[in-house]
Amino acid sequence: MNKEFSIIFIVGPTCTGKTGVSIELANFINAEIISADSMQVYKGLDIGTAKPLSGELAAVPHHLIDTLRISENYNVSLFCEKSLSCIEYIFSRGRNVIVSGGTGMYIRGLIDGIVESPPPDKEFRNEILEEGPEILYERLKEVDARAAEKIHPNNVRRVIRALEFFHASGKKFSSETCKWEAFDNEKIAGRKYRIFGLLMERDELYKRIDSRVDKMIQKGLVKEAEKVLKNKKFKHSTASQAIGYKEFVKYFEHEITLEKAVENLKKNTRNFAKRQLTWFRKDERIEWININAETKPEKIANVILKKLEKNEENY
């Protein structure tokens, strides 16, 4: 495998098998895996986050799993900072990188960088909105031609954001990428990236989600949730947003039955998968791979490997 392919992203909705595919691909291309999951980073959130099993973690080196206490906060900036350090460490050991996960904001931040935007200026927004999309885009070209090249004229929301940034700070939106703009070629030794997404028919995915929740219950999710929810620090950290725990609060307070709590968990997970898919479908860089519940991880990894080899000369 050409070193130009040393960063591979495996993305997609929950329950599409990203973990298994990433492990198989890592074995093919001599890679280590960085988790782009906002909740698997926490110690103690194991069953509910579908964290890789001990055998899977042992098969291929994983990073950013089980590194924070429940009381600690985690966000896109911290993820990008830690991921960049991991990437540099993995490269220094002559290995490739696979970034695998379903937290779209984290993945986009790592690829595109993060801009700390000034607070919204409603008066300025209302004023420029009256000008219409075409005039707004022309204004952007005048103050920040580089940003205009990257933003589609019809993406009015982002055009306004760039104009607002310039209005509030006097700085060009395109020049304010943060230190975590990981894939600038000069910063990461000329390596480029590819993004592969796993796509499954919605009905089939939902059935798979329901089945996985049932298995989580069998593995002891209720007991794990009880222990996690007893931790007073859980309520005030990023971990409290995790699906798989908050659904049991009313159950432990004797307000709903266990069956209802499980039903809520399945519903919330299905809705989460829908939001993930909506987010990822907006990114035209993703190369989608259609799969079904019977598709083996090794087969999917082979498909990705063939795509890499076929298009190697273009990267």
End-to-end CA distance of the chain: 12
Do 225 and 303 belong to one domain? yes
Do 144 and 283 belong to one domain? no
Do 105 and 233 belong to one domain? yes
The pLDDT confidence band at residue 115, using thresholds 50, 70 and 90, is low
Q: Give residue-wise pLDDT tens across range 242-270.
A: 999 999 999 999 999 999 999 999 999 99
Number of domains in the chain: 2
Do 10 and 106 belong to one domain? yes
Q: What is the CATH number of the domain that holds 78?
A: 3.40.50.300
Q: Give residue-wise pLDDT tens across range 51-99.
A: 999 999 999 999 999 999 999 999 988 999 999 999 999 999 999 999 9
- Predicted confidence at residue 180, as pLDDT, reads 47
Residue 254 is assigned to a structural domain of this protein: yes
Do 55 and 195 belong to one domain? yes
Do 246 and 300 belong to one domain? yes
Residue type (1 letter), 48: G
Do 297 and 165 belong to one domain? no
What is the H or E stretch that residue 11 is in? strand 7-11
Domain end call among 153, 175, 197: 175
Do 107 and 153 belong to one domain? no
Do 151 and 266 belong to one domain? no
Do 71 and 204 belong to one domain? yes
Residue 117 is assigned to a structural domain of this protein: no
pLDDT at 138 over 60: yes
Own/partner contacts of 217-226, CB < 8 Å, gap of 24 or more, are 217/262, 219/47, 220/47, 221/47, 221/48, 222/248, 222/251, 222/258, 224/44, 224/46, 224/47, 224/48, 225/48, 226/252
Beta bridge partners of 42: 68
Residue 164 token pair: 């607002």
The pLDDT confidence band at residue 296, using thresholds 50, 70 and 90, is very high
Do 167 and 28 belong to one domain? no
Cα–Cα distance, 148 to 154 (Å, whole number): 11
Residue 286 token pair: 């993703």
Do 84 and 197 belong to one domain? yes
The domain in which residue 141 lies consists of 122-175
